[in-house]
Amino acid sequence: MTGLWTLIASASSFFITLILGIWMIPFLRKLKYGQTILEIGPSWHKSKEGTPTMGGIMFIIGIIISSAACVLLFYSSHSTMLDLRISKDTTVRIFAGLGMAFLYGEIGFFDDYIKVVKKRNLGLNAKQKLVLQFAVVIAYLAIIKYVGGATSATLIPFIGTVDLGIFYWIISAFVIVGVVNAVNLSDGIDGLDGSITFFAAAIMMTIGSFIGMTDVSIVSGALAGGCLGFLIWNFHPAKVFMGDTGSLFLGGMVCAILYAMNMPILILPIGIMYLIEMFSVILQVLYFKATKGKRLFKMSPIHHHFEMSGWSEIKITVVFSIVTIVMGLGALAAVVYGV
Protein backbone atom coordinates (compact mmCIF):
# COMPACT_ATOMS: atom_id res chain seq x y z
CA MET A 1 0.00 0.00 0.00
CA THR A 2 2.95 2.35 0.53
CA GLY A 3 3.47 2.53 -3.26
CA LEU A 4 -0.04 3.93 -3.58
CA TRP A 5 1.05 7.25 -2.06
CA THR A 6 3.84 7.55 -4.63
CA LEU A 7 1.34 6.92 -7.41
CA ILE A 8 -1.07 9.50 -5.97
CA ALA A 9 1.74 12.07 -5.64
CA SER A 10 2.86 11.46 -9.22
CA ALA A 11 -0.64 11.66 -10.67
CA SER A 12 -1.72 14.70 -8.66
CA SER A 13 1.47 16.61 -9.51
CA PHE A 14 1.01 15.75 -13.19
CA PHE A 15 -2.61 16.89 -13.36
CA ILE A 16 -2.10 20.04 -11.28
CA THR A 17 0.76 21.10 -13.56
CA LEU A 18 -1.11 20.17 -16.71
CA ILE A 19 -4.31 21.98 -15.71
CA LEU A 20 -2.45 25.07 -14.53
CA GLY A 21 -0.96 25.36 -18.00
CA ILE A 22 -4.43 25.83 -19.51
CA TRP A 23 -4.84 29.03 -17.49
CA MET A 24 -1.29 30.19 -16.86
CA ILE A 25 0.12 30.18 -20.39
CA PRO A 26 -2.51 32.61 -21.77
CA PHE A 27 -2.11 34.68 -18.58
CA LEU A 28 1.67 34.96 -19.03
CA ARG A 29 1.14 35.81 -22.69
CA LYS A 30 -1.37 38.50 -21.73
CA LEU A 31 1.15 40.00 -19.30
CA LYS A 32 3.72 39.86 -22.14
CA TYR A 33 6.08 37.84 -19.98
CA GLY A 34 7.83 36.55 -23.08
CA GLN A 35 11.36 35.22 -23.43
CA THR A 36 14.01 37.45 -24.98
CA ILE A 37 16.51 35.50 -27.07
CA LEU A 38 20.16 36.47 -26.72
CA GLU A 39 21.97 37.51 -29.90
CA ILE A 40 24.82 35.11 -29.09
CA GLY A 41 22.48 32.12 -29.28
CA PRO A 42 21.67 30.04 -32.38
CA SER A 43 20.04 32.32 -34.95
CA TRP A 44 17.06 30.01 -35.45
CA HIS A 45 16.10 30.48 -31.79
CA LYS A 46 14.94 34.00 -32.69
CA SER A 47 11.64 32.48 -33.80
CA LYS A 48 11.02 31.59 -30.12
CA GLU A 49 11.17 35.21 -29.01
CA GLY A 50 8.04 36.16 -27.10
CA THR A 51 7.20 32.62 -25.97
CA PRO A 52 5.89 32.92 -22.38
CA THR A 53 8.49 32.18 -19.72
CA MET A 54 8.36 31.65 -15.94
CA GLY A 55 6.20 28.61 -16.63
CA GLY A 56 8.11 26.76 -13.93
CA ILE A 57 5.55 28.22 -11.53
CA MET A 58 3.17 25.57 -12.86
CA PHE A 59 5.16 22.55 -11.72
CA ILE A 60 6.46 24.24 -8.58
CA ILE A 61 2.87 24.48 -7.37
CA GLY A 62 2.07 20.92 -8.46
CA ILE A 63 5.20 19.36 -6.96
CA ILE A 64 5.15 21.22 -3.64
CA ILE A 65 1.44 20.59 -2.99
CA SER A 66 1.57 16.93 -4.01
CA SER A 67 4.80 16.19 -2.13
CA ALA A 68 3.82 17.85 1.13
CA ALA A 69 0.24 16.55 1.14
CA CYS A 70 1.08 12.95 0.24
CA VAL A 71 4.05 12.70 2.62
CA LEU A 72 1.96 14.04 5.51
CA LEU A 73 -0.95 11.74 4.65
CA PHE A 74 1.44 8.82 4.41
CA TYR A 75 2.83 9.60 7.86
CA SER A 76 -0.62 10.04 9.39
CA SER A 77 -1.90 6.78 7.92
CA HIS A 78 0.57 4.78 10.01
CA SER A 79 0.57 4.56 13.77
CA THR A 80 4.32 4.14 14.02
CA MET A 81 7.19 5.38 11.93
CA LEU A 82 9.82 2.92 13.12
CA ASP A 83 8.83 -0.03 10.94
CA LEU A 84 8.78 2.20 7.86
CA ARG A 85 12.33 3.47 8.35
CA ILE A 86 11.05 7.01 8.78
CA SER A 87 13.25 9.13 11.00
CA LYS A 88 13.29 12.70 12.20
CA ASP A 89 16.46 13.14 10.14
CA THR A 90 14.75 12.07 6.92
CA THR A 91 11.58 14.04 7.63
CA VAL A 92 13.52 17.25 8.23
CA ARG A 93 15.64 16.64 5.14
CA ILE A 94 12.52 16.22 3.02
CA PHE A 95 10.70 19.34 4.16
CA ALA A 96 13.85 21.45 4.44
CA GLY A 97 14.68 20.23 0.94
CA LEU A 98 11.30 21.31 -0.39
CA GLY A 99 11.89 24.69 1.22
CA MET A 100 15.34 24.91 -0.33
CA ALA A 101 14.02 24.07 -3.80
CA PHE A 102 11.21 26.63 -3.40
CA LEU A 103 13.68 29.35 -2.42
CA TYR A 104 15.87 28.53 -5.41
CA GLY A 105 12.74 28.87 -7.52
CA GLU A 106 12.19 32.27 -5.91
CA ILE A 107 15.71 33.35 -6.87
CA GLY A 108 14.95 32.23 -10.41
CA PHE A 109 11.66 34.12 -10.31
CA PHE A 110 13.41 37.37 -9.39
CA ASP A 111 15.91 36.74 -12.17
CA ASP A 112 13.15 36.13 -14.71
CA TYR A 113 11.15 39.10 -13.47
CA ILE A 114 14.08 41.44 -14.02
CA LYS A 115 14.55 40.02 -17.52
CA VAL A 116 10.97 40.15 -18.75
CA VAL A 117 9.51 43.07 -16.78
CA LYS A 118 12.50 45.33 -16.22
CA LYS A 119 13.81 44.43 -19.71
CA ARG A 120 17.31 43.64 -18.46
CA ASN A 121 18.06 40.49 -20.41
CA LEU A 122 20.81 39.20 -18.13
CA GLY A 123 18.66 39.46 -14.97
CA LEU A 124 20.53 39.18 -11.67
CA ASN A 125 24.29 39.38 -12.03
CA ALA A 126 26.52 36.41 -11.18
CA LYS A 127 27.56 37.77 -7.78
CA GLN A 128 23.97 38.41 -6.70
CA LYS A 129 22.92 34.91 -7.74
CA LEU A 130 25.78 33.21 -5.93
CA VAL A 131 25.28 35.18 -2.72
CA LEU A 132 21.58 34.27 -2.66
CA GLN A 133 22.21 30.64 -3.62
CA PHE A 134 24.84 30.13 -0.92
CA ALA A 135 22.60 31.81 1.65
CA VAL A 136 19.85 29.29 0.83
CA VAL A 137 22.12 26.24 0.96
CA ILE A 138 23.74 27.34 4.23
CA ALA A 139 20.28 27.69 5.79
CA TYR A 140 19.30 24.25 4.45
CA LEU A 141 22.44 22.55 5.79
CA ALA A 142 22.06 24.29 9.16
CA ILE A 143 18.47 23.07 9.47
CA ILE A 144 19.19 19.42 8.65
CA LYS A 145 22.18 19.45 11.03
CA TYR A 146 20.82 21.33 14.02
CA VAL A 147 17.11 20.51 13.71
CA GLY A 148 17.17 17.15 11.97
CA GLY A 149 20.28 15.85 13.65
CA ALA A 150 21.97 14.96 10.37
CA THR A 151 25.59 13.87 10.68
CA SER A 152 28.57 14.33 8.42
CA ALA A 153 28.46 10.65 7.44
CA THR A 154 27.31 9.83 3.92
CA LEU A 155 26.55 6.49 2.28
CA ILE A 156 28.56 5.45 -0.77
CA PRO A 157 27.58 2.22 -2.57
CA PHE A 158 30.21 -0.59 -2.38
CA ILE A 159 32.21 1.45 0.16
CA GLY A 160 29.79 2.01 3.01
CA THR A 161 29.32 4.94 5.36
CA VAL A 162 32.05 7.56 5.14
CA ASP A 163 32.36 10.36 7.69
CA LEU A 164 33.90 13.45 6.14
CA GLY A 165 33.67 15.60 9.23
CA ILE A 166 33.39 19.34 8.67
CA PHE A 167 34.39 18.87 5.02
CA TYR A 168 31.03 17.19 4.39
CA TRP A 169 29.21 20.46 5.00
CA ILE A 170 31.67 22.55 2.99
CA ILE A 171 31.63 20.15 0.06
CA SER A 172 27.84 19.89 0.23
CA ALA A 173 27.40 23.65 -0.04
CA PHE A 174 29.48 23.81 -3.22
CA VAL A 175 27.97 20.62 -4.65
CA ILE A 176 24.38 21.82 -4.21
CA VAL A 177 25.03 25.28 -5.66
CA GLY A 178 26.98 23.67 -8.51
CA VAL A 179 24.23 21.18 -9.33
CA VAL A 180 21.49 23.82 -9.16
CA ASN A 181 23.38 25.93 -11.69
CA ALA A 182 24.16 22.88 -13.83
CA VAL A 183 20.44 22.10 -14.10
CA ASN A 184 19.87 25.75 -15.00
CA LEU A 185 22.42 25.49 -17.84
CA SER A 186 20.60 22.44 -19.19
CA ASP A 187 17.51 24.53 -19.89
CA GLY A 188 18.33 25.77 -23.37
CA ILE A 189 16.12 23.90 -25.82
CA ASP A 190 12.51 22.73 -25.80
CA GLY A 191 11.83 19.88 -23.41
CA LEU A 192 15.45 19.12 -22.52
CA ASP A 193 15.57 20.02 -18.82
CA GLY A 194 12.12 18.61 -18.13
CA SER A 195 12.94 15.32 -19.88
CA ILE A 196 16.28 14.78 -18.17
CA THR A 197 14.78 15.60 -14.77
CA PHE A 198 11.76 13.36 -15.38
CA PHE A 199 13.98 10.31 -15.91
CA ALA A 200 16.30 11.30 -13.05
CA ALA A 201 13.24 11.56 -10.78
CA ALA A 202 11.91 8.20 -11.95
CA ILE A 203 15.23 6.56 -11.06
CA MET A 204 15.31 8.25 -7.64
CA MET A 205 11.70 7.18 -7.06
CA THR A 206 12.67 3.56 -7.75
CA ILE A 207 15.72 3.77 -5.48
CA GLY A 208 13.65 5.31 -2.70
CA SER A 209 11.16 2.49 -2.97
CA PHE A 210 13.89 -0.17 -2.99
CA ILE A 211 15.61 1.10 0.16
CA GLY A 212 12.28 1.41 1.97
CA MET A 213 12.16 5.22 2.08
CA THR A 214 8.60 5.68 0.89
CA ASP A 215 8.55 9.38 1.76
CA VAL A 216 11.55 9.95 -0.53
CA SER A 217 9.84 7.90 -3.23
CA ILE A 218 6.71 10.07 -2.88
CA VAL A 219 8.65 13.31 -3.40
CA SER A 220 10.53 11.80 -6.34
CA GLY A 221 7.22 10.68 -7.85
CA ALA A 222 5.79 14.18 -7.46
CA LEU A 223 8.87 15.60 -9.20
CA ALA A 224 8.49 13.13 -12.07
CA GLY A 225 4.77 13.88 -12.40
CA GLY A 226 5.33 17.64 -12.42
CA CYS A 227 8.02 17.37 -15.10
CA LEU A 228 5.79 15.18 -17.26
CA GLY A 229 2.85 17.55 -16.89
CA PHE A 230 5.06 20.47 -17.89
CA LEU A 231 6.45 18.60 -20.90
CA ILE A 232 2.95 18.52 -22.39
CA TRP A 233 3.37 22.28 -22.79
CA ASN A 234 7.15 22.50 -23.15
CA PHE A 235 8.07 19.72 -25.58
CA HIS A 236 9.11 20.95 -29.03
CA PRO A 237 7.66 23.25 -30.23
CA ALA A 238 7.36 24.76 -26.76
CA LYS A 239 4.28 26.78 -25.83
CA VAL A 240 5.97 27.95 -22.61
CA PHE A 241 9.46 27.99 -21.08
CA MET A 242 10.19 27.15 -17.44
CA GLY A 243 12.67 30.03 -17.07
CA ASP A 244 15.19 30.24 -14.25
CA THR A 245 12.13 30.01 -11.97
CA GLY A 246 11.70 26.39 -12.96
CA SER A 247 15.26 25.25 -13.66
CA LEU A 248 16.70 26.46 -10.34
CA PHE A 249 13.78 24.82 -8.53
CA LEU A 250 14.41 21.52 -10.33
CA GLY A 251 18.07 21.64 -9.35
CA GLY A 252 17.08 22.18 -5.75
CA MET A 253 14.65 19.27 -5.87
CA VAL A 254 17.21 16.83 -7.28
CA CYS A 255 19.66 17.77 -4.51
CA ALA A 256 16.96 17.64 -1.83
CA ILE A 257 16.00 14.08 -2.79
CA LEU A 258 19.57 12.77 -2.95
CA TYR A 259 20.39 14.34 0.41
CA ALA A 260 17.19 12.92 1.91
CA MET A 261 18.50 9.50 0.85
CA ASN A 262 21.90 10.45 2.28
CA MET A 263 23.50 9.41 -1.01
CA PRO A 264 24.49 12.67 -2.75
CA ILE A 265 27.24 10.72 -4.54
CA LEU A 266 24.52 9.45 -6.87
CA ILE A 267 24.40 12.86 -8.56
CA LEU A 268 27.41 11.64 -10.57
CA PRO A 269 25.51 8.95 -12.52
CA ILE A 270 21.93 10.24 -12.23
CA GLY A 271 22.81 13.84 -13.02
CA ILE A 272 25.50 13.04 -15.57
CA MET A 273 23.95 15.23 -18.29
CA TYR A 274 23.65 18.20 -15.95
CA LEU A 275 27.34 17.85 -15.12
CA ILE A 276 28.37 17.46 -18.75
CA GLU A 277 26.45 20.64 -19.58
CA MET A 278 28.19 22.52 -16.76
CA PHE A 279 31.69 21.28 -17.53
CA SER A 280 31.25 22.02 -21.23
CA VAL A 281 30.83 25.68 -20.26
CA ILE A 282 33.84 25.59 -17.94
CA LEU A 283 36.04 23.89 -20.56
CA GLN A 284 34.89 26.32 -23.24
CA VAL A 285 35.89 29.31 -21.12
CA LEU A 286 39.25 27.83 -20.09
CA TYR A 287 40.11 26.78 -23.63
CA PHE A 288 39.08 30.18 -25.02
CA LYS A 289 41.35 31.97 -22.56
CA ALA A 290 44.27 29.53 -22.98
CA THR A 291 44.22 29.72 -26.80
CA LYS A 292 43.45 33.45 -26.93
CA GLY A 293 40.13 33.19 -28.71
CA LYS A 294 39.76 29.65 -30.07
CA ARG A 295 36.71 27.55 -29.20
CA LEU A 296 36.62 23.93 -28.04
CA PHE A 297 32.92 23.61 -28.91
CA LYS A 298 30.93 25.44 -31.55
CA MET A 299 28.90 26.82 -28.66
CA SER A 300 28.31 25.96 -25.03
CA PRO A 301 26.49 24.55 -23.11
CA ILE A 302 27.08 21.43 -25.16
CA HIS A 303 23.46 21.02 -26.31
CA HIS A 304 24.02 24.13 -28.45
CA HIS A 305 27.15 22.52 -29.93
CA PHE A 306 25.04 19.59 -31.11
CA GLU A 307 22.38 21.99 -32.40
CA MET A 308 24.96 23.84 -34.48
CA SER A 309 26.26 20.47 -35.70
CA GLY A 310 22.86 19.76 -37.25
CA TRP A 311 21.04 17.83 -34.52
CA SER A 312 17.37 18.66 -34.04
CA GLU A 313 16.11 19.71 -30.62
CA ILE A 314 14.12 16.48 -30.37
CA LYS A 315 17.18 14.34 -31.19
CA ILE A 316 19.26 16.11 -28.53
CA THR A 317 16.51 15.65 -25.95
CA VAL A 318 16.12 11.95 -26.78
CA VAL A 319 19.87 11.23 -26.72
CA PHE A 320 20.47 13.13 -23.49
CA SER A 321 17.48 11.34 -21.93
CA ILE A 322 18.80 7.93 -22.99
CA VAL A 323 22.17 8.69 -21.41
CA THR A 324 20.36 9.72 -18.21
CA ILE A 325 18.34 6.48 -18.22
CA VAL A 326 21.40 4.27 -18.78
CA MET A 327 23.48 6.00 -16.10
CA GLY A 328 20.47 6.10 -13.79
CA LEU A 329 20.00 2.35 -14.11
CA GLY A 330 23.68 2.02 -13.26
CA ALA A 331 23.03 4.03 -10.10
CA LEU A 332 20.06 1.80 -9.27
CA ALA A 333 22.20 -1.31 -9.74
CA ALA A 334 24.89 0.19 -7.50
CA VAL A 335 22.32 0.72 -4.74
CA VAL A 336 20.78 -2.75 -5.18
CA TYR A 337 24.11 -4.59 -5.03
CA GLY A 338 26.30 -2.13 -3.15
CA VAL A 339 24.23 -0.87 -0.23
Which pLDDT value is given to residue 77? 80
| pTM, two decimal places | 0.94
pLDDT for 83 equals: 46
- Integer Cα distance of 238 and 48 in angstroms: 8
Question: What local confidence, expressed as pLDDT, does residue 87 receive?
Answer: 65
Per-residue pLDDT at 188: 87
Give the per-residue pLDDT at 269.
98
Beta carbons of 270 and 324 less than 8 angstroms apart: yes
Residue 170 DSSP SS3: helix
Distance CA 73, CA 67 (A): 10
Average pLDDT over residues 52-61: 95
Number of compact structural domains in the chain: 1
pLDDT tens readout for residues 219-260: 999 999 999 999 999 998 999 999 999 999 999 999 999 999
Neighbours of 295 (CB within 10 A): 12
Cα–Cα distance between 35 and 45 in angstroms, integer? Answer: 11
CA dihedral (89, 90, 95, 99) positive or negative: positive
Segment (H or E) for 288:
helix 272-290
How many angstroms separate the CA atoms of 256 and 211, rounded? 17
In this predicted model, what pLDDT tens digit does every residue of 145-193 receive, in sequence order?
A: 999 889 999 999 999 999 999 999 999 999 999 999 999 999 989 999 9
Report how far residue 236's alpha carbon sits from residue 317's, in angstroms, rounded to the nearest whole number: 10
What does 240-255 look like in DSSP terms, one character per residue? Answer: ---HHHHHHHHHHHHH
Interhelix angle 214-234/88-116, rounded to 10 degrees, is 20
Q: What does the mean pLDDT of the chain come to?
A: 91
User: Does residue 116 surpass a pLDDT of 90?
Assistant: no
Strand-pair category, 160-163 with 153-156: antiparallel
| Cis ω before 301 (30° cut-off from 0) | yes
Residues in Cβ contact with 19 at an 8 Å cutoff, skipping those fewer than 6 apart? none
Residue 75 belongs to domain spanning:
2-338
Residue 84, pLDDT > 60, answer no
